[in-house]
Amino acid sequence: MTGRFITFEGGEGAGKSTQARLLAAALKARGQDVVITREPGGTPGAEAIRELLLSTEGPGWRARAEALLFAAARSDHVETLIRPALQRGAWVVCDRFIDSSRAYQGGGSGLSDADILELHRIGSEELLPDRTVFLAVSPDEADRRLALRDGNSADRIGGRESDYHARVDKAFRTFAAQDPARFVEIEADAEPEAVHARIMSALAGLLPS
Ligand code: TYD
């Protein structure tokens, strides 16, 4: 039996990494083989591309080159880590995936959704998650969490202006509304344990007992 692929999505400061860890721990406690990973990154090749993408050194990337780099990092990640794990029956829990490219390089930077999905077809043979947990937080709460986490040290993309992040947020909400079979939208303005409980009940139909 192949495993299940769960992704976490949302803007900066939504609590994705924390919730990915809590879900992975809950699955392990139920005896599952679990791989927890993140994007951009997750494999040595993709982590090297992450550094190119997020470093604040140098001139940075225009929108198209940036989209291609994210697709290249994802291609390596899918081919060498995610698909092999799913094929051996593991659950894969991933902090960000294709919907981040659709929201940031699409909604934020203005590339079309069709182009982003075409890059995903070429790079990753269109692999889609079984479920995508979209963590929705209010802008005030996201700002508060980011100030606690990052201080003034945002990366190249996290440091973009608030209009950019507002477009990203709107894009995530649109994708979640368009595809309710894949997306689970969770209000995430609460304490981590409370958000985790909401996620567990939203995924109940899929989870092993
Ligand atoms: P990261 O430190 O993982 O951000 P966060 O902790 O906020 O999730 O940095 C990832 C950054 O890269 C984040 O600003 C979102 C951006 N990103 C894209 O623009 N496109 C993508 O496809 C992915 C995976 C991430």
Is residue 16 lining ligand 1, measured as CB closer than 6 Å? yes
Q: Is residue 171 part of a domain?
A: yes
Residue 134 has pLDDT above 80, yes or no: yes
Helix/strand/coil (H, E, C) string of 145-164? HHHHHHCCCCCCCCCCCHHH
Residue 115 located in a structural domain: yes
Q: Is residue 70 part of a domain?
A: yes
Average pLDDT over residues 160-166: 91
Q: For residues 202 and 184, give the distance between their C-alpha atoms in angstroms, rounded to a whole number.
A: 7
More confident position, 46 or 139: 46
Count of beta carbons in the 10 Å neighbourhood of residue 205: 7
Strand partners, 184: 133
Q: What mean pLDDT do residues 89-116 have?
A: 98
Question: How does DSSP assign 54-118, residue by residue?
Answer: H-SSSS---HHHHHHHHHHHHHHHIIIIIHHHHHTT-EEEEES-HHHHIIIIIIIT---HHHHHH
Residue nearest to atom 20 of ligand 1 (CA): 101
pLDDT digits (tens, 9 = 90+) for 174-205: 999 999 999 999 999 999 999 999 999 999 99
Between 54 and 142, the higher pLDDT residue: 54
Average pLDDT of the segment spanning 109-120: 98
* Any atom of ligand 1 within 6 Å of the Cβ of 96: yes
- For residues 55-67, give the mean pLDDT: 95
Tens digit of each residue's pLDDT (9 = 90 or more) over 173-182: 999 999 999 9
User: Residue 99 — pLDDT band, cuts 50, 70, 90?
Assistant: very high
Kindly state the average pLDDT of the residues 127-149: 89
Q: What mean pLDDT is predicted for residues 86-98?
A: 98
DSSP conformational letter for 195: H
Listing DSSP states for 165-178 in one string gives HHHHHHHHHHHHHH
Average pLDDT score over residue span 51-74 = 96
- Averaged confidence pLDDT in the chain: 95
208, part of any domain: no
Which ligand 1 atom is at minimum distance from the Cα of 101?
22
The best mutation among 96, 111, 133 to test binding of ligand 1, ranked by most ligand atoms within 8 Å of the C-beta, falls on 96
CB 172 within 8 A of CB 10: yes
Give the total number of structural domains in the chain.
1
Whether residue 209 is contained in a domain is answered as: no
Burial class (CB in 10 A: 0-12, 13-18, 19+), 106: buried
Specify the pairing of strand 131-136 against strand 183-187. Answer: parallel
Q: What b/e sequence results for 70-84 when a residue is b if at least 16 CB atoms lie within 10 Å of its CB, and e otherwise?
A: bbbbbbbbbbebbbe
Q: Is the CB of 74 under 6 A from ligand 1?
A: no
For residue 54, what pLDDT is reported? 95
For residue 194, count other CB atoms closer than 10 A to its CB.
Answer: 11
Beta strand pairing call for 131-136 and 34-38: unpaired
Containing domain of residue 48, as a range?
4-202
- Cβ–Cβ contacts within 10 Å for residue 97, how many? 28
Tell me, yes or no, whether 125 lies in a domain.
yes
For residue 197, the domain's CATH number is: 3.40.50.300
Distance in angstroms (rounded) separating the CA atoms of residues 182 and 178: 9
Q: How far is the CA of 98 from the centre of ligand 1 (A)?
A: 11
| pTM, 2 dp | 0.96
Instruction: Give a yes or no: residue 87 inside a domain.
Output: yes
What is the token pair recorded at 97?
């995936």
Q: Of ligand 1's atoms, which has the minimum distance to the CA of residue 12?
A: 7
